[in-house]
Chain A
C-alpha cells in the first residue's frame, strides 16, 4: 500500500513535467502528433527507469565508498549516455521496427533534463534500490502521461481558430500552463 501511494505521489502529485518543470523540451517539441509523443513517452520511460537504477548502483557502490560525491552529475551523465547508446544498439539489432519508431528519440533523451533530474532527486531523498526503481518508473509514467495528454490537446488545438498573435507555440504554452494548474489539484491527495 505504501508503494502504491508512493507511485501515485510520483506520477500525479509530484509530476516531473508539470510540478518540477523538468523535460519541457520534448513536451513542446515532440507533442504535435499523438503517435510521436507515445513513442517518445515510451522511450523516455525505458531510459528513465533504467537510468535511475543504474545511477543508484553507481552512487552506492562507487561514489559513496570512494567519497567522491562531488562528481555525481558527471558520473551520472557518463552512465546514462553510455546506457542509452547501448540500448540503441540492442534495439536496432533485436527489433528494427521498434528502432524505427523510437530510434530518432533515443539520442534526444540523452540530453533530457528529466532523465538526469530524476536520479538526482532520488539520491537526495535517500531511496532504497527498490524505491529508486519505483521512483524512476513512476516519474517516467508521469512524463508519458503528460506527453499523451498534451499531444491530444495540441491535435485539437491545431483545428481551433486561434488569434494570430497566439497561434502556434504561444497558445501551446498557455495550454501547458493551464494543464499545470490542473495538476496542482492533486496537491492535497497524499
Chain B
C-alpha cells in the first residue's frame, strides 16, 4: 500500500515537475492570436450596443465566451457568421434582432448639430441651423444620437421595405 502511494506520488511529482519546466521553457506570449483576429473583424465604431465598453472589450468577451456571437448589431448577420466560424460556436439566427436605423423628424429638428457630433460613423449630415439627415447606408442604430438630441426628434425604426431590401420568403413545405 505504502509502496503504491509512494510510486504514484513519485510519478505525479516527476510529471508535475516536467510540466512546470515545459511550461516555463516553452511559454508563449499571453497575446491570443484569436483576440487580434476578432478585434480586426469588429466594426470598431465603439458604439456600445453590445453592452460592453468598446469593440476590443467585446472581442475579449467573445474569446472568453462571455458574449454571444450575435451581440453586435452593427456587424449584423455577416459578422455573427464569421465569428461563429472562428470560435466554433453554433449560430442561432433567431437571436439577431432586426437592425434599427435612426430617423430624424424634420418638423422638430432645430439643426443643433449635437446628433452628428455624437455619431460614431458620420452617418448624420447637416449644418448649424439646417435640418439634419441620416444616411441609412452608414447608420448602425447605436442610439447615440437619440441621447444627444435635445429636441427628442430622433427615433429608431427598422428600415422601410423597398424593392432592394425585399426578399423572397422561404416556401412553406413539409
Contacts and interface: CB of A to CB of B under 8 A. Distances in A.
Contact present between A and B (CB < 8 A):
yes
B8 A89 contact: no
Contacts of A70: 4
Most chain-A Cβ atoms within 10 A of its Cβ — which of B12, B22, B34? B22
A66 B11 CA distance: 13
Given A82-B18, A85-B19, A68 B28 contact: no
B7 A78 contact: no
Size class of the contact patch on chain A: 20 to 34
A89 B4 contact: no
A71 B12 CA distance: 13
A74 B16 CA distance: 15
Interface in B18-60: 18-19, 22-23, 26-28, 33-34
A93 B4 contact: no
Contacts, number: 51
B15 interface: yes
Contacts of B23: 89
B3 interface: yes
B7 A90 contact: no
A71 B11 CA distance: 12
Nearest to B24: A89
Contacts of A78: 8, 11-12, 15
B8 A71 contact: yes
- For the complex, would chain B's binding face be called helix, strand, loop or mixed by DSSP majority? helix
Contacts of B94: none
Contacts of A96: 28, 33
A166 interface: no
A51 to B, nearest CB: 13
A161 to B, nearest CB: 7
Interface string B66-99: 0000000000000000000000100000000000
23 contacts: A36-B88, A62-B11, A63-B7, A66-B3, A67-B3, A68-B4, A68-B7, A71-B4, A71-B7, A71-B8, A74-B8, A79-B15, A85-B19, A86-B18, A86-B22, A89-B26, A90-B22, A90-B26, A92-B26, A93-B26, A93-B28, A96-B33, A100-B33
Given A67-B3, A90-B26, 18 more contacts: A36-B88, A62-B11, A63-B7, A68-B4, A71-B8, A74-B8, A78-B11, A82-B16, A82-B18, A82-B19, A86-B18, A89-B19, A92-B26, A93-B27, A93-B28, A96-B28, A100-B33, A100-B34
Interface of A: 36, 58, 62-63, 66-68, 70-71, 74-75, 78-79, 82, 85-86, 89-90, 92-93, 96, 100, 104, 161
Top 9 A-B residue pairs of the complex, sorted by shortest distance between their CB atoms: A82-B15, A93-B26, A68-B4, A71-B4, A89-B22, A89-B26, A66-B3, A85-B19, A66-B7
